[in-house]
A and B are shown apart, each in its own frame.
Chain A
Amino acid sequence: MAFVQTLLLGVLVAGVYALMASGLTLIFGVMNIVNVAHGAMLVVSAFVTWALWRATGLDPLLLALATTPLMFGFGWLVHRLLIRRLGGDPATMAVLLTFALAVAVEGLLGLVWSGDYRAVTPSYVARSVRLGPFFLPEAQLYAGLLAVAVLLALHLVLARTRVGWAIRTATENPQLAALVGVDPERVRALAFAIGAATAGAGGSMLSVLYPFSPASHYLWISRLLGIVVLGGMGSLPGAALGALVLGVAETLTSTYVSVKWATGVFYLVIFVVLLLRPQGLLGLRLRQDVPQ
């Protein structure tokens, strides 16, 4: 029973990880850009959630309704002002540019809200809810369910709508997409904004589940890159699977081995999987420069 409970907890953690990683893998898939500022975007959203929560007392998870469109706008601006200017060959320079953005964001957050650790603590943060034989922490439960709901919404947008169609064509074959009438620049701007929007929702959840400071983005970007690489760069189902594997591994380790080993096991799993399957679990390509 305790084992199943730990598994359930791992799945809930994985749901939030998957949401956080989804934007990163989406942006990579469409634009071939590793957005190193994705962690910083999460932390921005966490701080905004914290500030709004303190000012209004509204539920921090509901505040995702505010941070999601806010970060969509932020992503759109970042693309317009920075990413778009990379022009021709963004893949290499983009890492440098988005890293610089992450550091700048970290500095700005520190100026405005200081470098201290913050936490959003709604009334239910220390409570557990009983589901049949299992006790689950309420915050994890709500955040996990909400994350899965947002991911499903993202999936529906990509699978069913016109913008999703355009994004998928530009991901699979940009040259052909242009020939059938899709403007790749507009699609890239949208994909970047949507990716940032998922960081908005993810950041609100992060603010409830983990303490954070302006420098927390280093921790999160390495964790999210791990998830995305494990699942296969650019694959959304891959990110979900990577999150599941790592979320469960982490939770099992902290329950049965030691909390101290949880982060270590996270990266150990990545090493082992990539030794056996260099393209990641669901990745299609081994190398970017070789067509599949």
Chain B
Amino acid sequence: MTDERRPPEAEEGGAILEVRALRKRFGGVAAVDDCSFRVPRGSVTGLIGPNGSGKTTVFNLITGMLRPDGGEILLEGRRIDGLPPWERTWRGLGRTFQIARLFREMTVLENVVVPLRDFRLRRMAESAVAGEERRRAGELLERVGLARFCDELAGRLSYGQQKLLELAQALVLRPRLVLLDEPASGVNPRMIERMAELIREFHREGTDFLVVEHNMPLVMDLCDHVLVLAGGRVIARGSPLAVRSDPAVLEAYLGG
């Protein structure tokens, strides 16, 4: 079911994700304010902006951890804003966190194994770590370089390893789009290079990425499209080069 890729719909202009007039207030503060953008299909899109500009809130709204006060979210042209988080995951959405969130008391392998969707008795009783899913999980762990830690508890991995494991976990259902929240934060330069290489590899295999990142050289290197968020709305969009020289962006970062 995860492999039936829908053909690009012309009327959506080839957007994998579209956000329309999204709004979210916390008390009196508008964290996300009439925010609209598209993530082009087949892209690695950067979502940048000064601290407090609403990037993580946007991620939480897209994944369903927060309910929007208004607006629409479309994944491959279909509304997902009314769906619970797990349904969005099964529709092809994945995410990672700034500080890796894992099942720390489960093993590395168990963290990556496909979750249960089908509650028929036969499926429920199946081994969680066997068959096709075991192969897929094993292959992913191999590729992120954690294969030899399969039976280790996830909580015992180093910080960088946990970020890699989280990436594998987000990719196991072969999502169409993965949201990465600061994949390079707090990890050493070699790990950043490794992370970028992995993102490029998985992108070539058909997963698009929306990346929140403060490391500008990485954004410039990795992304082919950049959205700039300030005050809860998108103030600039375009190629990394174009965005870098946009006066509105400089204003937002320096005047902020």
Interface residues of A (CB under 8 A from B): 157, 160-166, 168-169, 172-173, 175-184, 186, 190
In the bound complex, CA of A177 to CA of B169 (Å): 11
A180 and B173 CA atoms in complex are apart in Å by: 9
How far apart are the CA atoms of A162 and B129 in the complex, in Å?
8
Count of B interface residues, CB-CB < 8 Å: 31
CB distance from A94 to the nearest CB of B (A): 22
Q: Are A181 and B173 in contact (CB under 8 A)?
A: yes
Number of A-B residue pairs with CB-CB distance less than 8 Å in the complex they form? 80
Given contacts A165-B113, A165-B115, A179-B95, contact A160 B173 (CB under 8 A): no
Assess whether B119 is in contact with A190, with CB atoms less than 8 Å apart: yes
Q: How far is the CA of A31 from the CA of B186 in the complex (A)?
A: 34
In this complex, which of B105, B113, B119, B173 has the most chain A Cβ atoms within 10 angstroms of its Cβ?
B119
B106 to A178, Cβ gap below 8 A? no
List, sorted by A's number, 17 A–B pairs whose CB atoms are closer than 8 Å: A161-B127, A162-B115, A162-B125, A162-B126, A163-B125, A165-B128, A168-B110, A175-B65, A176-B101, A179-B86, A179-B89, A179-B95, A180-B169, A181-B86, A181-B89, A181-B114, A183-B117
Does A172 lie within 8 Å of B104, measured CB to CB?
yes
Pairwise interchain contact B86-A162, C-beta atoms closer than 8 A: no
Contact status A179-B85, CB under 8 Å: yes
Decide if B116 is an interface residue (CB 8 Å cutoff).
yes
B124 at the interface (CB under 8 A from A): yes
Quick check: B115 and A173 within 8 Å, CB to CB? Answer: no
Given A160-B128, A161-B128, A180-B169 in contact, is the A169-B86 Cβ separation under 8 Å? no
> B134 → chain A, closest Cβ, in Å?
12
The contact string, 1 if C-beta is below 8 Å from chain A, for chain B 161-177, is 00000000100010000
Residues B123 and A168 in contact, CB atoms below 8 Å apart: no
Would A181 and B90 count as touching, CB distance under 8 A?
A: yes
Residues of A within 8 A of B129 (CB): 160
Chain B residues contacting A161 (CB-CB under 8 Å) are 124-128
Q: Is the Cβ of A172 less than 8 Å from the Cβ of B106?
A: yes
Distance A17 CA – B123 CA, assembled complex (angstroms):
31
Task: Find B128's partner among A162, A176, A179, A190 (CB 8 Å cutoff).
Answer: A162
